[in-house]
Structure 1
């Protein structure tokens, strides 16, 4: 099985998902005057999909063919995009519709991603896995370069409903790719031992290394979700940045993600996956200084925000690739889908909680205070990794020999 049809499908999936995730909150803020707490609550509901479907998606991925799971996922996304487009066109759109749309799209994405990760060991193994993970993150970051401009085009031009129809059509392209490039490749056989619904979670927390990685990721994701549940509102309403300006910030940030994806294999090969994970998290604190300056010089805020976001994106991509490589190397092959979905359930499950906290705090405190607290939380996400007693053993370099 070639990796390129899979990576192409992931790219299209990410472009549509990322674009819609930007478009709907912007529409809610600019067209329907949604408050900061309403947007944060919408983000919380949308991000709760991993809590509801995270574990089940891994079981489905391990027990069914990749082709079946991926096609079902994209068919669901096709229908959701059309329904949301109709709601916008008929002027029946609301915060609730936006939240349910994002929730459904996130749920469908979970199943596709679980199925995709379940076939990774079939197309990349050992040393090649670092390279594949880097390619994967580079594809995601490159796709993210397109999403902000698509979202700005849709919102500024009042074309959100047409844009969603376009997303639905692009999803059909994924169905063609799956049929032509990957449909003949089976996923795990049903004869292999299947993990129970909680076995992936148990495995993660029984392994000291994966436990430390998960606690770090949960901490980061919790505060990261709180930060970005507020940021779009803060940028548009408090700093007065235009929709196109916000799109430009996310575009430039995605460039940092692409850089991080290409830097990661070198860093992991030189220092080891675990050390790369630790130091990438530690770097979040000093690189956040320009973000603090931005609050005091609104005129130049976009430039300072871009500096911080690009540095963060490089660090995050190095961290993600390092942690993904560690998890793949240490997971039994028949449980790859379950462990991947369990990690998403545990790690991404913190997203709605962080966004909900932001919504709660915004009732009584200023949005800038919430952003500052979220920043500090992200900056100290390295602590669980640093406290892990097995970090020396975990620092075995994966380049040049197997971990």
Structure 2
């Protein structure tokens, strides 16, 4: 049955670890730059550098991480990653109390914690098929997406309240506590987690080539990666310009601006809640295709946002992009976990993370350059046209002709 995933005690422990980790990480999304600005008086360039360092590790270590995860116990990788992040992030409030905190230290913490997060993410997606049966993968991935979206939506609000109560540096401690709680939940999982035998290990570069090669040979995996890379490149640029667009170009009041920025999180939450039902109703593949082809017309509403009733255009676009992305993530992860042999899954996940997440800092840079050259609203037109066309690679894949991903032998399409 696909509806019994919450009856699995080990999955509930895994889900709880996600809740603790994701909520803490989204609190720090607000608190870390506030520490830089409010405590260290950092300027825009330093805050931008701090933000980029949190995701830079995906470009630097994403491919090797997949190889190393395939060699190790996946649950242990996640636990060690959580404990490393606990130590690193926990050092920030301690250093602040001792008068030792600096922007240089914050940047080092952001880079190293981001590196630990890469290992956590790759091991996370690789471990789920060991916890749940293949027919439950879609439902399991949907539940995890609900947690991610809910944490993304509530984390900044919780973080803002904590900053008001205890200050920015002490709020960072909540992120550290979340990482520690995640490790503790993971430690209670009973399902065995066996590593590969030492005799099966190969040189690092060979492992990287195998992961990229497997991704390239599967036509649907290849087109999923291309579509997601285009989408993330475009959306990262939009996210980087959103506050500037609403505040300086549209000239909205701060209250309305903040409300509009939450609509993306609501869309992701609705997507996670509806993914299980949709996959059972129409099939996981059709759900993924539906999400890809439904969103393009809505992308073109956002640049038409004005300081009147047309402010709703921003909300509609944000909601639909996040809804589509969440459904797409559930479908893509389910397919990848279904067709990839377990001993290859870490390398394939690492390759996908490298290709798909590696476009995000590039997209943010591209958005800024476009805005400087042609203006913010015009830059949004260009970026969102790119997002509207992100589904095009999927036209050259088997996806439009599929219904479900759970019959791996039938849906794999090698070129």
Q: Which band: TM-score by shorter chain?
A: 0.7 to 0.9
What is the aligned partner in structure 2 of residue 253 from structure 1?
264
2:128 to 115, 120, 135: 120
CA distance in 2, matches of 1:365, 1:151: 35
What is the aligned partner in structure 2 of residue 334 from structure 1?
343
What is the aligned partner in structure 2 of residue 102 from structure 1?
110
Query: How well do the aligned residues superpose, as a CA RMSD in angstroms?
Result: 3.2
1:293 shift after superposition: 3.3
1:358 shift after superposition: 2.7
2:237 to 223, 226, 241: 226
1:204 shift after superposition: 0.5
1:138 shift after superposition: 1.4
Report which structure shows greater RCO (CA 8 Å, sep ≥6): 1
Provide, for residues 210-265 of structure 1, a one-character-per-residue CA deviation record: whole Å limited to 9, x for no partner.
11111001111111222222224444555566777665445443232221112223
Distance 1:227 1:88, change over 3 A: farther
Distance 1:309 1:72, change over 3 A: same
Is 1:2 aligned with 2:10?
Answer: yes
1:14 to 22, 28, 32: 22
Distance 1:180 1:204, change over 3 A: same
Q: Which runs of 5+ in 2 are unaligned?
A: 1-8
1:314 shift after superposition: 1.3
CA distance in 2, matches of 1:139, 1:130: 14
Q: Which runs of 5+ in 1 are unaligned?
A: none
Provide, for residues 77-130 of structure 1, a one-character-per-residue CA deviation record: whole Å limited to 9, x for no partner.
112213333566648554x65554433333212211222222222122322111
1:266 to 242, 253, 277: 277
Is 1:306 aligned with 2:300?
Answer: no
CA distance in 2, matches of 1:225, 1:188: 36
The secondary structure found in structure 1 opposite 2:351 is helix
Distance 1:245 1:26, change over 3 A: farther
1:203 shift after superposition: 0.7
CA distance in 1, matches of 2:158, 2:253: 15
Distance 1:362 1:236, change over 3 A: same
Distance 1:273 1:372, change over 3 A: same
Distance 1:363 1:97, change over 3 A: farther
Distance 1:318 1:49, change over 3 A: same
CA distance in 1, matches of 2:337, 2:27: 29
Is 1:176 aligned with 2:188?
Answer: no
TM-score of the superposed pair, with normalisation by structure 2: 0.83
What is the aligned partner in structure 2 of residue 202 from structure 1?
213
CA distance in 2, matches of 1:315, 1:78: 33
| Bigger mean CA offset, 320-329 vs 239-248 | 239-248
CA distance in 2, matches of 1:51, 1:317: 22
Distance 1:237 1:75, change over 3 A: farther
TM-score of the superposed pair, with normalisation by structure 1: 0.85
CA distance in 1, matches of 2:257, 2:67: 38
